[in-house]
Amino acid sequence: MGLSTAWVAWSCYRMKRSYNTYPFTSSKHKMKHKTHQYWLFFLLCAAGILAGCRQEFFPPELGEPIPAATFPELLETLPETGYGTFRVIWERSNVKQLIADEYVKSDLTYLIPDDAAFANAGYTSASVNGMAAADLDTLLLAHIVPGALHVARLPTGSTLALNSLLSIPDIAITTARVSGQDQIARPYVFQHHLFKTADGIMSNGTALVVNDEADIRNGRMVLIDKLIPYAKKQMIDIMREDDRFSLFLAAADLNIAIRIPVYETYSTLNNSVYLDRARYEYHYIPPGGAVPANRLISLAQFTLFLPTNEAFHQVGIYTEADILALSQRADLDEVATAPRAQQRTAKTALEKVFHLHTLRGASTSNFTLNYELANRPVYVEITNSFNNVTASPFFFQHDLRPDVSQTTELRPYVVGQQSGRVTVQAASSAYPPATITESLMTLQGPVHVVDRLIIEEGVEL
């Protein structure tokens, strides 16, 4: 019932009540009042009916409806020439169907190298025809990120960390204990650390020129001049395969041998503490035979400053015998003198020298630090929740996250630049800064090759 109809009903009820209760003294007066009451009742009912039937007035629509913006599909937007290799890879891979099945309502950004970029990396239209579809899937998924990325709108100096669609489901970043067995809670995902330069963008240290970008039906297309290398190896693989790092590898081997008796004192070798030591110091996932059947070892994410053999030579260390001698120096060894309960967290002589080379988490160097920019690269502080004697108490990730202040300072490191290259030095240390000569991406994170050791304040060699 509308408000008008309700008001009429209430008015009629009041009229009837007033007629029956009002103290008229004459029947003539009563008859006259009743006649007036009937007429008023009729008028009120008519008004109520008309009010109940009233419709709101809307002016007629003018003009044509505004159509929603529509954009062509990816291959329709792609230039007809210069991107033939990508077209072949796209058609032969399973990625097109994957996106149709799982990302049909999602915006995606496709970072697409041109034919010259593919050729420089060893891919041509002919060669990819002989590749397995799974390998082509991996190549494409590493170049696709969620969301619509407008590179031209990013201010110079801004940083972004974006997950790609490339994941490896059998490598765990985090695990969960279920019914006495470890299971993968979060699998490995290849991530792009982007830095906006005046000329384009950098991804994981690789400078990219953006040839063009455009909206497409399900996101954005960004045409680039290089392939973006994605991680295929572990950090230990880099050290084992390159003779330039043999002394650092020997130091890691020796220090684990020194640590084994300490852990035997408290637990068995299959204890999680020992396995974590292998991950955090030896920079790899132990092979299955070294891990109990009910354990699943997660991937430890790092930034590693990896010194060359020449970096050791500059402080008088030339052979593995010199490393052995360093490991036996009592003035550097905290473990030998620490109480038993503190030996797991005290530093050995080697850890005293090398612990600043390993950082928990993952970071990349963009090689274009400009401290005059208002928006310089962001360093995110992550508290080290493990008692790892080889890890810094704090780790700062080159990353842009909205929940972290951009004014965080980098400690205990001093980062600078010299001749266009990034330098890293321990805060207040008397040793000269180390220069990053190259960066390599691994499953654990970036390896920054340095030409000097990064030694903390107060340590003398």
Handedness of CA 81, 85, 90, 91 (dihedral sign): positive
Looking at 190, 224, 258, the residue that finishes a domain is 224
Distance CA(46)–CA(50), nearest Å, equals 6
Residues 354 and 401 reside in one and the same domain: yes
Residues 212 and 168 reside in one and the same domain: yes
Residues 273 and 413 reside in one and the same domain: yes
Mean pLDDT for all residues in the chain: 76
pLDDT digits (tens, 9 = 90+) for 269-321: 555 566 666 676 677 887 777 777 778 888 887 788 999 999 999 999 999 99
Can you read off the two tokens belonging to residue 151?
A: 């590179």
Quick one: which of 64, 164, 66, 60 has its CA closest to 110? 164
Q: What is the pLDDT of residue 134?
A: 95
Residue 361: phi, psi to the nearest 5? 95, -165
Q: What is the pLDDT of residue 383?
A: 29
Residue 80, domain CATH: 2.30.180.10
Contact 220, 134 (CB under 8 A): no
Residues 407 and 291 reside in one and the same domain: yes
10 pLDDT above the threshold of 60: no
Contact 416, 454 (CB under 8 A): no
Contact 258, 350 (CB under 8 A): yes
Would you mind telling me the total number of residues written for the chain in this entry?
461
The answer to the question of residue 154 being in a domain is yes
Q: How many domains does the chain have?
A: 3
Residues 129 and 23 reside in one and the same domain: no
Residues 300 and 204 reside in one and the same domain: no
* Residue 119: Cβ within 10 Å count: 14
Contact 162, 191 (CB under 8 A): yes
pLDDT band, residue 61 (cuts 50/70/90): low
pLDDT digits (tens, 9 = 90+) for 106-135: 999 999 999 999 999 999 999 999 999 999
Handedness of CA 242, 244, 245, 246 (dihedral sign): positive
197 pLDDT above the threshold of 70: yes
Q: What is the pLDDT of residue 155?
A: 83
Q: What is the pLDDT of residue 396?
A: 29
347 pLDDT above the threshold of 90: no
pLDDT band, residue 427 (cuts 50/70/90): confident
Residues 252 and 199 reside in one and the same domain: no
Can you read off the two tokens belonging to residue 275?
A: 């396995």
SS3 category, 170 = strand
Looking at 172, 203, 224, the residue that finishes a domain is 224
Distance CA(116)–CA(122), nearest Å, equals 10
Residues 210 and 253 reside in one and the same domain: no
pLDDT band, residue 393 (cuts 50/70/90): very low
Collect all residues with Cβ–Cβ distance below 8 Å to 385 and sequence separation of at least 6. Answer: none
The answer to the question of residue 456 being in a domain is no
The answer to the question of residue 255 being in a domain is yes
pLDDT digits (tens, 9 = 90+) for 83-114: 999 999 999 999 999 999 999 889 999 999 99
How far is residue 272 CA from its own chain's centroid? 27
Distance CA(236)–CA(285), nearest Å, equals 9
Contact 295, 273 (CB under 8 A): no
Quick one: which of 301, 142, 161, 308 has its CA closest to 234? 301
Collect all residues with Cβ–Cβ distance below 8 Å to 230 and sequence separation of at least 6. Answer: 138, 142, 164, 166, 190, 441
pLDDT band, residue 167 (cuts 50/70/90): very high
Contact 422, 415 (CB under 8 A): yes
User: What's the whole-model pTM score?
Assistant: 0.73
Task: Pick 404 or 432 by higher pLDDT.
Answer: 432
Q: For residue 377, is the peptide bond before it cis, meaning its omega torsion is within 30 degrees of 0?
A: no
The answer to the question of residue 459 being in a domain is no
Task: Pick 317 or 347 by higher pLDDT.
Answer: 317
Q: Is 172 exposed, middle or buried (0-12, 13-18, 19+ CB in 10 A)?
A: buried
Residues 209 and 286 reside in one and the same domain: no
Mean pLDDT of 143-157: 90
Contact 119, 89 (CB under 8 A): no
245 pLDDT above the threshold of 90: yes
Residues 97 and 209 reside in one and the same domain: yes
Q: What is the pLDDT of residue 317?
A: 97
The answer to the question of residue 65 being in a domain is no
SS3 category, 461 = coil
Alpha helices in 103-224 (DSSP H): 115-120, 125-128, 133-141
Q: What is the pLDDT of residue 231?
A: 87
12 pLDDT above the threshold of 60: no
Distance CA(157)–CA(8), nearest Å, equals 72
Task: Pick 235 or 64 by higher pLDDT.
Answer: 235
Lowest mean pLDDT among 136-145, 182-191, 228-237, 397-406: 397-406
Q: What is the pLDDT of residue 213?
A: 96
Residues 214 and 246 reside in one and the same domain: no
Spell out where 402-460 has E strands. 413-418, 421-426, 434-441, 446-450
Q: What is the pLDDT of residue 283?
A: 79
Distance CA(293)–CA(291), nearest Å, equals 6
The answer to the question of residue 67 being in a domain is no
Burial code (b: 16+ CB inside 10 Å, e: under 16) for 367-379 equals: bbbeeeeeeebbb
The answer to the question of residue 384 being in a domain is yes
The answer to the question of residue 149 being in a domain is yes
Residues 123 and 48 reside in one and the same domain: no
Distance CA(3)–CA(7), nearest Å, equals 6
Mean pLDDT of 338-347: 79
Contact 326, 317 (CB under 8 A): yes
Q: What is the pLDDT of residue 85?
A: 97
Lowest mean pLDDT among 17-26, 295-304, 327-336: 17-26
Q: What is the pLDDT of residue 121?
A: 94
Looking at 189, 224, 259, the residue that finishes a domain is 224
Which range of residues forms the domain containing residue 194?
A: 74-224
Q: What is the pLDDT of residue 392?
A: 24
